[in-house]
Amino acid sequence: MRINVPETRKGILYLVATPIGNLADISFRAVETLNGVDFIACEDTRHSRPLLERYGIVKPLTALHEHNEDAAADRLLERLGRGESMALISDAGTPLINDPGFPLVRLAAERGFPIVPIPGPCALTAALSASALPTDRFAFEGFPPRTASARRALLEELLDDPRTLIFYESSHRILDFVRDIAQVFPAERRIVIARELTKLHETIARAWVGEACALIENDPNMQRGEFVVLLQGASPKPGKDDLTHEQMRVLKLLLDECSVKTASSLTAKITGARKELAYQAALRLTEKKL
């Protein structure tokens, strides 16, 4: 199979993460990379220029945003084909994470150009790490739909998802989005609203879904800035051959005082669990203690 790569020296595409607020968060490697490439593609040259000036980076800039990325990708890859190296940056954070660049990266991979990630800031991982919600499994949903009906439909699809759910939201819709969450999710589900991460007015508010609307309504500052919203995942539903969390709690308490047979029998009477399931669970718990 013929790979569509020029015979001359291949250029390298660098994906460089930039600060999400605090300009001091850029890495040494990011600065070195931006200083070393032939040109930089960015969402908005006016937005990126202050960062580059802060670190003395003087390179030609070209715009790559959601409105031109399909058309610009071929033109930029032609430059890579001539042996030039390029850095892709977004307005903030890690390129392609809810930002432009996917058509460019996809075509570069298809044509065999080296793609080098320069890792760094990312709002979703920053918020997740500080959320105090489970981090072992999570789902990033980006910005929710703009209309209330579409938002609620999405939330209903995610209601039983056991993973921590992560969304981005703007100041214009944060209150409406949290109101929709309150209509779909149980009041006792945990929610975290991270605002203006790494900036002067950074706020990480942890609450129950049932109290989140009041938290935002009563504080005008909680309707300003950029937001990451995280929702606790659903508790796994017990299968037909499993004891519920409450049934297991009762069984464990009884096992501290009774035999396996008596504890499982009493658990069945108290909680309505099937006696044979309680007995098998009691045996497993006893074996773990041996």
**Residue 118 has what pLDDT?**
98
Backbone angles phi, psi at 30, to 5 degrees: -65, -45
Q: What are the tens digits of pLDDT across the range 163-202?
A: 999 999 999 999 999 999 999 999 999 999 999 999 999 9
For residue 65, give the nearest of 94, 88, 85, 49 by alpha carbon. 88
Render pLDDT for 206-240 as a digit per residue (tens, 0 to 9): 999 999 999 999 999 999 999 999 999 998 765 56
Find the distance separating the first CA and the last CA of the chain, reported in whole Å.
61
Q: What is the DSSP letter of 134?
A: -
Residue 181 CB contacts under 8 Å (≥ 6 apart), including other chains: 155, 191, 209, 212, 229, 231
Packing angle between helix 69-81 and helix 102-110, nearest 10 degrees?
40
Tokens of 13: 């595409």
Structural element, H or E, at residue 139: strand 138-140
DSSP per residue over 208-228, as a string?
A: EHHHHHHHHHT-GGGGSSEEE
Q: Grade residue 4 by pLDDT with cuts at 50, 70 and 90.
A: very low
pLDDT confidence of residue 6: 38
Q: Cα–Cα distance between 90 and 17 in angstroms, integer?
A: 8
The answer to whether 67 touches 98, Cβ cutoff 8 Å, is no
pTM: 0.79
The pLDDT of residue 243 is 85
Average pLDDT, the chain: 92
Among the ranges given (8-22, 103-117, 147-161), the one the predictor scored with the smallest mean pLDDT: 8-22
3-class SS of residue 108: helix
Nearest to 181 by CA among 139, 150, 151: 151
- Identify the three-state secondary structure at position 167: strand
CATH for 124-231 is 3.30.950.10
Pick the CATH number of 13-121 from 3.40.1010.10, 3.40.50.300, 3.90.190.10, 1.10.10.10: 3.40.1010.10
* CA-atom Rg of the chain in angstroms: 26
Q: Parse the chain into domains and list their residue ranges.
A: 13-121, 124-231, 245-289
- List all residues 6 or more positions away from 222 whose beta carbon is below 8 Å from its beta carbon: 174, 193, 195, 203, 205, 215, 216
